[in-house]
Structure 1
């Protein structure tokens, strides 16, 4: 088979494999790199593929093991934590999951609508929400792989054992530990109108109104910064410090969607400036009648993937 034939063979699986690598790694940039490694390995190993499993399962085995290697790699690139431009209040905790990146919903629409196996426990939407992706990164690599293969993709214990060179008994034990550590991971459906109310209050600098929308156990996280804030009081203290630093500059928010959640591309405009400059991405997690989490990505690469990096057409607030 030549390169063209191979490309046509694997193309139907490319997007879902990219999503699989993203779940494993939490980073879309890393997922793209590992996907390329996977396809190169599949091309080289194609003569040995005997059809003992489906092509899809064979590709998932290669991709999963490549992701495991990447997660175990001591040299895995981890972005440097940004230095805040102001003195932030003391964080509630510091988190080791700092390489988290958002997944644009436009990419999710390109993933084939393939029904997961009967063992699946998570729906597509649940299995790409930021909280679930972050929870996967906190698991040991092998536990994360088993949880995804079993509970997201629905492969049987026997199939997972074959992919990961384990026994079905070991798979069941690893899965039990992974489920216990990850928790349910399912977000309560909520009114996404809250996200718009947040955006209006945030751009107006009305921190009290923002705080009033938060759940008692809400989190503010800012990957790749490790500091996190829990609860309305802690989140409010950070937002007020940020608002003081922003001064007379105005924040503009443009709606977007990532990880099946409402998000906003952020732009800053100084006094009298006709154009606002890109300033990262805010993701709003709604639970019931409250906002359960705010995730602020300061890296403008997220905006580039959403086609929102350029500030053209976004004039200073007026």
Structure 2
């Protein structure tokens, strides 16, 4: 879960200087790149049927033409419980699906619209998934994540460890872990690791502030602080796991039956704290919203698209969507005339 010290540290420094977002295509389809999908055809209403008399040629009804509309997004602070939240980034939708189908964590990274991004889902313990039949149900959620940059790993000599310290001999480590320790111990080498990888997770949770003996000496692992690397990162990393509520099993696999999945979802629905809809997002909606998110500052509570005749699928999606989740923000969605 979220480390409060990191969030406080980042929030203090990023502030107004780092409040602008960067452009991206976060809502297009793809694993870690952004991409495809198809818009529905733009709807154009025809003139209503008219009648004529011998004394006038004016139509008896006014023309029915599409009215210009705007998409309004308003940031919300509290987790909504009154309606489902559409998951906007396609990568996050895919990670949630995969995490619901497997027993191990899903690891990945994705572009975000802001500097030093922290995922909203770090603050959520339970979710209900809807909109994707194969994985619909209620799950306990575990998320670790934050601004993605290569962690710089250090190791300092220690004369006397704390009385309760657990000391791990380097020769008992896997080859990847032992190599990282050796590089960290050698001041002439640079030891780095990506935070979302298995090696990165071990480094963050075990080696940092942990003790390793190597070649007859004792060392404490630590992260070498790289202030600019974290604050100017616009990429977010995740280690994400789901566990079905009401089941003693590990997260379900393909062998479970539809009846079992449905029963688990039904029995746990009432206790879900956040309902996430894994619905696809029309490209036309993303085309209008992405630039707004890219230009938004962190202290800007509302963003509003320019007036336009929206394609039918975009208008329908906007009307039917109450909340939208990006990697780092929750928004209320409204169609404004």
Q: Give the TM-score normalised by the residue count of structure 1.
A: 0.23
If you compute each CA radius of gyration, which structure gives the higher value, 1 or 2? 2
Q: Which has the higher contact order (CA 8 A, sep 6+)?
A: 2
Q: Return the structure number with greater strand share.
A: 2
Q: Return the structure number with greater helix share.
A: 1
Q: Give the TM-score normalised by the residue count of structure 2.
A: 0.22
